[in-house]
Chain A
Amino acid sequence: MSDGASATGDLRDTSLDGPTLNVRLSRVWGTPRGLLGALTTVDHKIIGRRYIVTAFLFLFLGGITALVMRLQLAQPESGLVGPDTYNQLFTMHGSTMMFLFGVPIGEAMAVYLVPLMVGTRNIAFPRLNAFSYWVYLSGGLFLWISFLLNIGPDVGWFAYVPLSGPEYSPGKRADVWAQMITFTELSGLAVAIEIIVTVLKQRAPGMTLDRVPLFVWALFVNSFIIIFALPAVMIASTFLILDRLVGTHLFNPAEGGDALLYQHLFWFFGHPEVYIIFLPGTAFVSAIIPTFARREIFGYLALVLSLIATGFLSFGLWVHHMFVTGLPQLGAAFFTASSMLIAIPNGLQIFCWIATLWDGRPVWRTPLLFVAGFFFIFVAGGLSGIMLASVPIDTQVHDTYFVVAHFHYVLIGGNVFPLLGAIYYWFPKFTGRLLSERLGRWNFWLAFIGFNVAFFPMHISGLMGMPRRVYTYGPEMGWGDLQLLSTAGALLLFASFVLFVWNVAASLRRGDVAGPNPWNAGTLEWATASPPPPHNFNRIPLVTHREPLWAERGGLPVVTGLSVSHRELMVSSVAEAEPQLRETSPAPSIWPLVAAIAVGATFIGSIFTPYAVLWGALPVAAALTGWFWPKAMPEDEE
């Protein structure tokens, strides 16, 4: 690679140094200011921040629906909300938490952090990234605006047929649910593809597969799960819309359809879905523990193995959601086997993490507190999960509050606690300021106590025979005291989130200023400024170790030769990350937004008439034509 400008005026970074390089790269990679810049940006950090904030907004909305439900159930025969409202509330709660928060937040953190951790300048397919955010936002708004206009869905987050079918759910409510699925799954698939390509082909030179951070491995495996699971629910929801709108009878037993087909399609997605929500939690834990244990992770190979095994096994569990549907016992037994045996890779992960802390010199800052909370809560949830895997036990506790307790333990324990720890950990990187440690401790303890007071009694409520999805219950059932206790815990848990938002708001303005690496961590995102410049790194690092910043304390070796006159990043080989190509990266573009609007209008229109698909294809095609219109690129000379 030659120094200085070549014949076509392409200036390389070899000759430039320090501030000059930073300024020139910031100009090339930066997003224009103002509204137009905001609408056209393809910077993964800006889009990632938007994703995170939007997902947290949906977390709050979902939390408010939960609070209303808990207030209703605090007393028997409460008249706070009627059955119609309650049915909408639990549908909105589940749908928001699972589709608008649980999956997107993992993708959000991946979009922001994976390119930084693998040492590249932007995520793969940056315009697709922008497009996926707009589609996600549209889907979420579509659901919530419908709810506020009293045409929100009321058939549960899973929307079983025949209840959600044309005969028993007239109107547009179930169609809103089904089409929201289409929005969010399109968005999820897009991000999954970007992550896989980024991780396989854009790693910094020297970052062989066994030097890839576990955070990245977890989100990489997660992306494969997303790609294979999401199509199943898209098919289920599309078939539902076809039955409702076009008059097919895919799920109508009177005309040769099968109501159980829906459940198979839904749960083939539904079980991997909960692992899609859990795996980012493992990513956060695997990143936080080495930093706060002050040693590299114990059992890297075992952890990668666990991630891969969990990813595959998660596809073999789905019938355990259908144990009481009258299927042959032999068939159910296969799924008991896989549901029980998945505890092996999950347990292996826990052992490795605990061993790292045991063998390290732990520093109990807030991120590590939340990880400790994760250990307790997730493992407790795993134990109730083992119980549920057994058919005889499940026939009693299926569809009771025992299951509600179980999945809140594994999802809040496995995703939300690590997520809060992750925000405390990476907030200085995102914003340049540290969150308050004092408020963080209050946040943690309030959340931990509130969570357990809210959800532990539900195990007992379920064992006392309380079914799910009931808007009220009689005083003679004896469930009232425990329900009141759960409500008290829920209020505490909600308060902890209010405290979290307070901490964020206050720290944004008055938090301690953070340098590039306030935690003395080892991975690449801490090698650049806080917050990172638009181009992430002045020069692409050369990686020789799993924890590059710990191995090269004197300063990272770097690769030189990338262009400074246009957006360029490095493409490398899959296993050994040998440099292969200098690849041009797209500049800001309006087409992702335009395409998202066209796609969104088509989706929304198609719940009213199938012709919307036909007519909508025209603006979508126009937008895609604009998007892919070839640009004249300066050809490489060597």
Chain B
Amino acid sequence: MSSLLTRGLPSAGLYAGPMAWLVSTQANYALAAWSCSYQFPVIPLLAAVLAAVSLAGGVSSWRAYRQPLPADTTTVPAPDGSQVATLDGPEGGRPHRMIAAIGVLVALLFAVVIAVHGVAGLVFTGCER
């Protein structure tokens, strides 16, 4: 388990970001009325927590990105035989690294979206109709 934390999981950001955002969308919508009644900024707080969850997933993906996985060597050698292909090169062959990069960026994007939800919670009281 701890080795997973240090090694990172390439798809962690892909899971954490969208899941946190889905929870944010649903919970925020349900809490809009509650926040009007209780006048408590639950939505910005929830947004901060969920954005942190998303970013944590991104961190795990980043760790995986930095460490080349054994399974990430190609099943057949790249045409020029080298192993230092750039991430986005057309010869491909490094799927886990691609997933890890996508995991980082997706986690970032969804953290931004969750944060904007939180800002909405600061702008509105929930009682406006």
Contacts and interface: CB of A to CB of B under 8 A. Distances in A.
A301 B117 contact: no
A205 B93 contact: no
Interface stretch (A178-186, A248-256, A310-318): A310-318
Contact of B102 (A308, A333, A551): A308
Interface in A341-373: 341, 344-345
Given A211-B93, A308-B102, A315-B22, A544 B87 contact: no
Contacts of B106: 305, 308-309, 312
Given A545-B92, A575-B96, A330 B126 contact: yes
Contact of B79 (A333, A544, A575): A544
B40 interface: no
B52 interface: no
Given A296-B90, A334-B120, A328 B33 contact: yes
Contacts of A344: 109
A546 interface: yes
Interface in B98-117: 98-99, 101-102, 105-106, 109-110, 112-113, 116-117
Interface in A232-272: none
B29 A334 contact: yes
A18 interface: no
Contacts of B9: none
Interface string A145-171: 000000000000000000000000000
Contact of B29 (A331, A341, A577): A331
Name the prevailing secondary structure of the B interface residues: helix
A77 interface: no
Given A301-B98, A341-B113, A333 B120 contact: yes
B128 A576 contact: no
Contacts of B94: 208, 210
A145 B105 CA distance: 49
Nearest to B77: A544
A301 B120 contact: no
Interface residues of B, number: 52
A547 B124 CA distance: 51
A423 interface: no
Contacts of B33: 328
Given A205-B75, A206-B76, A341 B91 contact: no
A330 B88 contact: no
B121 interface: yes
A341 B18 CA distance: 14
B49 to A, nearest CB: 16
Contacts of A210: 92-95, 97-98
A544 B18 contact: no
A337 B114 CA distance: 9
Contacts of B96: 575
B32 A328 contact: yes
A513 B102 CA distance: 42
A304 interface: yes
A316 B25 contact: yes
Contacts of A589: none
Nearest to A544: B76
Name which of B24, B90, B95, B120 has the most chain A CB atoms within 10 A of its CB. B90
Given A305-B105, A312-B18, A209 B99 contact: yes
Given A210-B92, A312-B18, A330-B126, A304 B98 contact: yes
B124 A208 contact: no
B78 interface: yes
Given A208-B94, A305-B105, A328 B88 contact: no
9 contacts: A208-B74, A208-B94, A301-B87, A308-B102, A312-B21, A312-B110, A315-B22, A328-B127, A330-B32
Interface of A: 205-206, 208-211, 296, 299-301, 304-305, 308-309, 312-313, 315-316, 319, 326-331, 333-334, 336-338, 341, 344-345, 542, 544-547, 551, 575-578
Interface of B: 14, 17-18, 21-22, 24-25, 28-29, 32-33, 35-36, 43, 71, 74-76, 78-79, 87-88, 90-99, 101-102, 105-106, 109-110, 112-113, 116-117, 119-121, 123-129
